[in-house]
A and B are shown apart, each in its own frame.
Chain A
Amino acid sequence: MLKETQLHSYHAEHGKLTEFAGYEMPLWYTTTTEEHLAVRNGSGIFDVSHMGRLAVRGEASTAFVEGLVPTSVARQQPGKAFYTLLLNDRGGIIDDLIVARLGLQEYLLVVNAANAVRDLDHVKALAPAHGVEIEDLTPTSIMIAVQGPGAQRSLQGLADVDLAGLKRFRSSAAKVLGQPSLISRTGYTGEDGFEVIIHGPTVESPGEAVKVWEGLAATSVPCGLGARDSLRLEAGFPLHGTDIGEDTDPFQADLAWVLSSDKGAYVGSTAVSELRSHPPGAVRRGVVLDQGIPRHGFDVLEASGKVGTVTSGTFSPILKKGIALCRVETTGSEPGTEVSVVVRESPQPGHIVKPPFYDEDVYGWKSRGNGK
């Protein structure tokens, strides 16, 4: 039996449904391309209520979260959110997540749906007996991502805080249609936008959840998981379980920028110090093809032979070309390097890029005044 989010009735009525991480979720409502372009050029909304939301509170919470992730926590001011990783003892990536520091002694961890159970176990197992309280907020809240250059305008109509004053990677308590909420200026599309958590709705008693969604849908295009995947790929964001995982470390994942050097021990820190002194044998990169669409598992070739594998690929509606994230040997991973990807036995020429794949002067949050 698949799990449902509080917004399932809307998805079932308006969208094509698919299974994802144990949930029945919308794959698309109209077409993936239309929804994708709505986010790049206007505003789109995504039901991301399936993602895990863990509250960590208590007098020992800062020290605890500090020991959990490789990014400095003490340096983050209340109201700040940041992207980081959960590592295992070998430095492998258990999950990637957003941590929001809500107060001096209160944090929110937003984790991938597919890893939510594993992450909760990991966090609970490491929690000290006293001074830290962990609460899974997932069943008693919904989460909607509002993404695109028009996201601020779309969400502002329903929210009681001035969104223009909320900077990127900041979060704020708010009311959305009168419901107690948390609004963060974050997202998984590369565009400006927000992730809104609304406290209260459960599957048994969704209450105002659908009203909030329909309120946003008046000015934003509902988007399914198809567009969510093509947008994150175009922005160059890895998908855990596909592009990165427990067998990849932060250096191989091209995510070493999350590692803070000015902090004490954390899970995986011994392994990370050792890995730091050895350049990784393979690294995550982007590939653009002239023709054809690269897909998961396809071989990446250079003149010397096979140098890597596509970890996820799609067709970019912005570039109108096939794009991929891949794991390639570090030697020869320089942007601009000519490679080919074997698409059904036929090598297709392309080159290595450092994502995002789109022109950042035109698309993405950096191209616009909002949120800077």
Chain B
Amino acid sequence: MDLQGYGIPDDLLYTKEHEWARQEGHAVKIGITDYAAKTLNDVVYVTTPKLGGKVQQFQTMGTVESIKAVSELYSPVSGTVTKVNSRLDMSPELVNKSPYGEGWLIEVEPADLESERKKLLDSKAYSAYLSTLLK
């Protein structure tokens, strides 16, 4: 799906803070949406929780910064961090180049995905939400 040039893949779940979550087996990969990346314009610095750290659904888990601004990251799910995208240390621009691919942020082992996923938006709901912001 695509809304005014912003990519919104159908297979992801979204937050209203513009993070996405993708189930990959038992794990959940997390990143920021194309809209968030384009709004930041050029991501130059990313801070994420450490490996083994805990994240809570809708609680801050780090920051993404452009030259001009800082944006808080909110975790779409609760769980334990099992992977951190260390390529972002040297190449934070991957978040802009490939927000749903190489620019992913962390992977977590979810604590309670079945109940938490109900609080996330699917691509249709996120697209509808985004269209209200773009008016």
Give the interface of A toward B (CB within 8 A). Answer: 16, 27-28, 31-34, 36, 226, 229-230, 292-293, 295, 314-315, 317, 322, 344
Contact = CB atoms under 8 A, between A and B. Distances in A.
Contacts, number: 42
Q: Give the one of A226, A292, A293 with max B CB within 10 A.
A: A293
Contacts of A229: 68
| Majority secondary structure of chain A interface residues (helix, strand, loop or mixed) | mixed
Contacts of B45: 292-293, 315, 322
B67 A295 contact: no
A302 B66 CA distance: 27
A28 B66 CA distance: 12
Contact of B67 (A226, A292, A344): A226
B30 interface: no
A32 B70 contact: no
Given A31-B41, A292-B45, A36 B67 contact: yes
B65 interface: yes
Contact of A226 (B41, B63, B70): B41
Given A293-B70, A295-B70, A32 B65 contact: no
Nearest to A230: B67
A83 B47 CA distance: 40
Given A226-B68, A230-B68, 19 more contacts: A16-B41, A27-B41, A27-B68, A31-B41, A31-B96, A32-B66, A32-B67, A32-B68, A33-B44, A33-B67, A33-B93, A34-B42, A36-B67, A293-B65, A314-B67, A314-B68, A315-B67, A317-B44, A322-B45
B105 to A, nearest CB: 17
Contacts of B47: 292
Interface string B52-84: 000000000001011110100000000000000
B133 to A, nearest CB: 15
Q: Give the one of A16, A34, A315 with max B CB within 10 A.
A: A315
Contact of B41 (A28, A293, A344): A28
Interface in B21-45: 41-42, 44-45
